[in-house]
Structure 1
Amino acid sequence: MLRLLRREARTHKRWKPFLRFFIGVPLMAAVHAICFALDPLLFPSLRRTEVRAPTFCIGHARSGTTYLHRLMADDPQFSYALMYELFFPSLLQKKLIRLVFRVDAATGGRLRGRLDAIEEQAFAPTDDIHKTGFFVPEEDDAFLTWSLSSGFWIVAFPYMGELDFYHVDRWPARKRRRMMAFYKECVRRQIALNGGGTHLSKNPTFCGRVETLIETFPDARIVVPMRNPYETIPSLLKLMQTEWSLRRRDGQLIKSSLRVLADQSVDTYLHPLEVLARHPEIRSSIVDYRELVSSPSATMHRVYDELGLELGPEALRTFAAADQRRGHETAHRYSLAEFGLDPHDIHRQLADLFDEYQWDNEEKDAHVS
């Protein structure tokens, strides 16, 4: 990262990002490491907390992973992390921050009001593509931010092709096991914070680490939504293009990173299915996005059955309410042509999936996000 940031700083005479990274990241990592080490000393119950049968929602970005994740997050059997909690991985930090919010709520909520205003301003440019916020469930890959193993850094800097946070299954065994051991410890602390429960995770980037997930969590449950790549790929590229442009990143870097991301998308569809086919012992469910948004309750009943999950009254109410709302899709449209992509090439590489899901029968020229 330092090498890439230094190169960009020399080229564009912008040294602030380099200096912020050079000073800020090691400092923050040190603070988190100290707090992390204090956790088992301050909270002995953490030693008894176990990560059992975690559920992972993976799949190509824009394929319904967020919708699926937030439906399941309303089920109290699950434990998950809110966005702000992801950047404070230790249990000590999480408890202190929750204490601050409780005090703030009891004294007028001035801090929460400021954060809501910052949230609205920060996420407004991409809110119509991907709605998020500080206090909603988000991708827990961000637990790995300060250890420099998270795709967050690709969102911040378009260094795709030079930094790879996706193909974890191809990493050397020692490197990936070290990373996932830390991730598991982060998950354990989140479960302890939430008072127990089954960990629920949503990460499109985890499509490249399915084998590693199974290696780390042999009792994992995995659910994979499937959506027409003519819709998901340009929608993802538009989201990333917007993020990088807002950060005023180099235009050539953006262009080359979008190309790498488009090529990676094929693997995102194929790799999870290939790994799950090799591991029939893993409980998994493949979900057609069209069924998820048109009949969420019936679809979620099937998902829970295939994953071996208990369907409680709260989940039943959530899924029934989703049936009443439906209409998850938006009116925003993105085209493959905008990014110089050939639909025939995508079709050729994903021919079996096009046949299975009959995506050829859907509109190809304009794509709903």
Structure 2
Amino acid sequence: MLKVYYRIIISCWKTFGFSHWLFLWVFLPPLAFILLRLSLALDEIFFSKYRDIKVVKPIFIIGHPRSGTTFLHHVLTQTEEFSTFKAWHIFVPSLTARILVKPLVDYLVKHNINSVIPDDIGHGISLDRVEEEELLFLHQADTQFVLLTTPLAFDDQEHPELRFHDQQPASRRRSSVKFFESCLKRHIYYTGKKQVIAQIHFSTHRIKTLLEVFPDAKFIYLVRPPHETIPSHLSLDRNFLENQWGKNIPPDKIKRYEKRRYRYNVDLYRYFYQLQKNQDIPESNVRIIRYDFLISDLEKAWEEIVDFTGINPSNKLKKAIKKQAQQQKNYKRKHRVKNLEEFNLTREQIIKDLSFVYQEYKFEKIANKL
């Protein structure tokens, strides 16, 4: 973690020079780290019973970003009957700290000043909205989000340790997942809801470690043609970078980031494909669902998910799913996906580089129509 922080500071200096960004990144992360560790330690005194909680048959939604992971996560959790994290819960995983922070959160929500990231970039974040639990790994500096949300995005060096989690040393990879488990336990204790449904798409790279800690976990892997996900993901990242840093980033650093991001996207697809081919994931633990099936026949996809996971949904959720299925017919994307040319890519290149995806998941007909 110290090495990652050191590189963040170096990259910040090289990208922004002596600026307010450098000041913020030098002082805020150490302060946040100290407060987090202190508040988590206080949990061991005031809320020690959380450790007795068992995380049983958690459901993990994985897959390439923009494959419908957020959509499915929100559909399944819309009635708030399962254990899921709102954004502020992720920012404040400590039960002790939540007691102190909640009045402020309630005030911000009440006065409609709870937006963290605007919706128009393609994936907005609000304090009181269910968010992807992959962000919990930011507290361990062990997720690809570090390569987006910090100046490390513009580092001269690459950081494969923030992507290939299953290849990390055992102590490091297990430490991150055990921290994740402790967050899930705390949240079950906090909400009283035992069934975990978590969206952790980048943790597709840590499936094997997750299975070591959660052997009864159920993984829902969403897959969508890469020529659809990749430009959408790159567009989202470009919007986020501009929202986060303004337009002060040198074009060559943006170009290098997007070139790397494309390669990282290919690797994410390939890793799951190789696990599947090598039979490294028991069939009983994973269900593959195509995005087009999820969108076109949500009710049938829902039936498959219920059968696979064994969850016991309420009548309220069943009705909500049925209503959502009807609404899907009129869905129109709100954000603009940039042209591939803006990222120096072509559809032909994507189809070639990810031919194994098109063949394995029967996307050839879609590719042939392009």
Q: Distance between the aligned counterparts of 1:61 and 1:145, measured in 2?
A: 17
User: Distance in 2 between the 1:314 and 1:269 partners?
Assistant: 35
CA distance in structure 1 between the partners assigned to 2:48 and 2:11 by the alignment: 46
Q: Is the 8 A contact 2:358 2:367 kept in 1?
A: no
| 1:45 counterpart residue number | 49
Task: State how 1:182-201 maps to structure 2 within 5 Å.
Answer: 182-201=179-198
The structure-2 alpha-carbon separation of the partners of 1:63 and 1:187, relative to structure 1 and needing over 3 Å to count, comes to same
Q: Paired residue for 2:210, among 205, 210, 213?
A: 213
Taking a change above 3 Å as real, the CA distance of residues 319 and 12 of structure 1, as seen in their structure-2 partners, is closer
| CA gap 1:300/1:11 in 2 versus in 1, 3 angstroms | closer
1: CA distance between counterparts of 2:110 and 2:255?
Answer: 38
| CA distance in structure 2 between the aligned counterparts of 1:268 and 1:9, rounded to whole angstroms | 30
Q: Report deviation, 1:28.
A: 1.2
Deviations along 1:203-228, one digit per CA (max 9) or x if unpaired, are 22112111121122111110011111
Structure 1 range deviating more: 354-363 or 29-38: 354-363
Q: Tell me the TM-score normalized by structure 1.
A: 0.87
Match of 1:147 among 136, 140, 147: 140
Does 1:286 pair with 2:283?
no
Q: Which runs of 5 or more structure 1 residues have no equivalent in the other structure?
A: 105-109
Asked if 2 retains the 8 angstrom alpha-carbon contact of 1:227 and 1:288, the reply is: yes
Q: d(CA) in 1 for partners of 2:314 and 2:7?
A: 51
Q: Which residue of 1 aligns with 2:131?
A: 138
1:98 aligns with 2:102: yes
The residue that corresponds to 2:170 in the other structure is 173
- Contact 1:57–1:202 under 8 Å retained in 2: yes
| Amino acid of the structure 2 residue aligned with 1:278 | D
Between Structure 1 and Structure 2, how many residues are aligned?
Answer: 355
Distance in structure 1 (CA, Å) of the matches to 2:366 and 2:32: 48
Aligned partners of 2:163 and 2:205 also within 8 Å: yes
Equivalent pair of 1:283/1:308 in contact (CA under 8 Å): no
Quick one: structure 1 residues 281 and 62, their matched pair in 2 at CA, closer, same or farther if it must change by over 3 Å? closer
SS at match of 2:113: helix
Output the amino acid matched with 2:140.
Answer: S
Q: What 5-or-longer segments of structure 2 have no aligned partner?
A: none
Alpha-carbon offset, residue 294 of structure 1: 1.4
Give distance in 2, aligned partners of 1:94 and 1:133. Answer: 17
Whichever residue aligns with residue 51 of structure 1, its letter is V
Q: Higher mean Cα deviation, 169-178 or 3-12? A: 3-12
Contact 2:114/2:127, CA 8 A, preserved across alignment: no
User: Does 2:354 align with 1:355?
Assistant: no
Stretches of 4+ moved more than 6 A in 1?
A: 363-366
- The alpha-carbon deviation at position 12 of structure 1 amounts to 4.2
Q: Is the 8 A contact 1:210 1:275 kept in 2?
A: no
**Rounded Cα–Cα distance in structure 2 between residues aligned with 1:329 and 1:291:** 17
* Residue among 143, 158, 164 paired with 1:162: 158
> Which residue number corresponds to residue 261 of structure 2?
261
Give the distance between the partners of 1:23 and 1:61, measured in 2 at CA. 31
- Structure 1 270/234 Cα, relative in aligned 2: closer, same or farther at 3 Å? same
**Residue type of the alignment partner of 1:139:** E
- Whole-angstrom distance in 1 between the partners of 2:14 and 2:148: 21
Inter-CA distance 95–328: structure 2 relative to 1 (3 Å threshold): farther
